[in-house]
């Protein structure tokens, strides 16, 4: 959806979300001028919590803007699309007008995030940031609320512990069992092959659905498919 052939300065047209200064800088570039985030860059960004500088490739950002416009005109919001089509956590009556129909509160089984498989889903990021080809971008979606600090929207210490525990159980320990990472220590995998971050509320494009991001490096695609039950991104 959202043909962009021949499209010129997207920032001069109405956009479906507020463009950041980083977005505007990216849209002024060509793909050839764009510098991809590599692993060392990502480690530094996440360590500094400087998440606002994460960016998509110019052509991908233009496609994302066009796609978002199309999705909003069909479903009413990105949240509705994700709940209905990607997560399948919402099943409205086929006769209803999706644009006018609010999403009901999504029930969860456990108040502890990631304690019950019913309450979360791991998917490929359909619109990943501009990362080098050895890196895969995954999103973990949660029905259970993930507490954040009111002053800045960052996760609380308790939420950070819940997320780190889930990342260890799901991603790090799985890689320890994989022949490609044989004999790798847990700390090495954490540092060189698995990163995670949760955008503050102001940076989230899907604010009403709890989620955090996982970046993995050098992981066989078969393992990505095992985690996500998806062979490719969905657009």
Res 6: pLDDT: 40
Print burial letters for 32-66: b (CB count within 10 Å at least 16), e (below 16): eebeebebeebeebbeeeebeebbbbbbbbbbbbb
pLDDT digits (tens, 9 = 90+) for 143-200: 999 999 988 888 999 999 999 999 999 999 999 999 989 889 999 999 999 999 998 7
CA gap 220, 134 in Å, rounded? 10
Q: Would the pLDDT of 1 be above 80?
A: no
Q: Let me know if residue 12 belongs to a domain.
A: no
CA gap 196, 213 in Å, rounded? 5
Q: How many domains does the chain have?
A: 1
Q: Let me know if residue 85 belongs to a domain.
A: yes
- What's the DSSP call for residue 191? H
Q: Would the pLDDT of 73 be above 60?
A: yes
Q: Summarize the confidence of residues 18-34 as an average pLDDT.
A: 96
Domain that holds residue 119: 18-228
- What's the DSSP call for residue 147? -
pLDDT digits (tens, 9 = 90+) for 103-141: 999 999 999 999 999 999 999 999 999 999 999 999 999
């Amino acid at each position: 959806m959202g043909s962009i052939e021949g499209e010129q300065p997207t920032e001069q047209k109405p956009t479906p979300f507020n463009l950041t200064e980083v977005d505007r800088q990216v849209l002024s570039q060509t793909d050839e001028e764009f510098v991809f985030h590599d692993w060392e860059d990502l480690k530094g960004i996440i360590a500094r919590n400087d998440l606002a500088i994460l960016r998509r490739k110019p052509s991908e950002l233009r496609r994302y803007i066009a796609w978002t416009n199309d999705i909003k005109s069909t479903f009413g919001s990105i949240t509705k699309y994700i709940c209905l089509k990607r997560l399948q956590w919402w099943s409205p009556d086929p006769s209803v007008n999706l644009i006018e129909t609010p999403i009901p509160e999504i029930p969860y089984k456990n108040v502890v995030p990631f304690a019950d498989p019913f309450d979360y889903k791991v998917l490929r990021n359909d619109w990943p940031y501009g990362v080098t080809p050895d890196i895969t971008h995954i999103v973990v979606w949660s029905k259970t609320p993930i507490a954040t600090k009111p002053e800045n929207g960052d996760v609380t210490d308790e939420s950070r512990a819940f997320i780190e525990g889930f990342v260890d159980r799901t991603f790090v320990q799985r890689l320890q069992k994989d022949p490609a990472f044989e004999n790798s220590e847990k700390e090495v995998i954490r540092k060189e092959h698995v990163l995670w971050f949760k955008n503050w509320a102001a940076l989230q494009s899907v604010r009403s659905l709890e989620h955090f991001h996982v970046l993995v490096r050098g992981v066989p695609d078969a393992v990505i498919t095992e985690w996500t039950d998806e062979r490719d991104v969905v657009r």
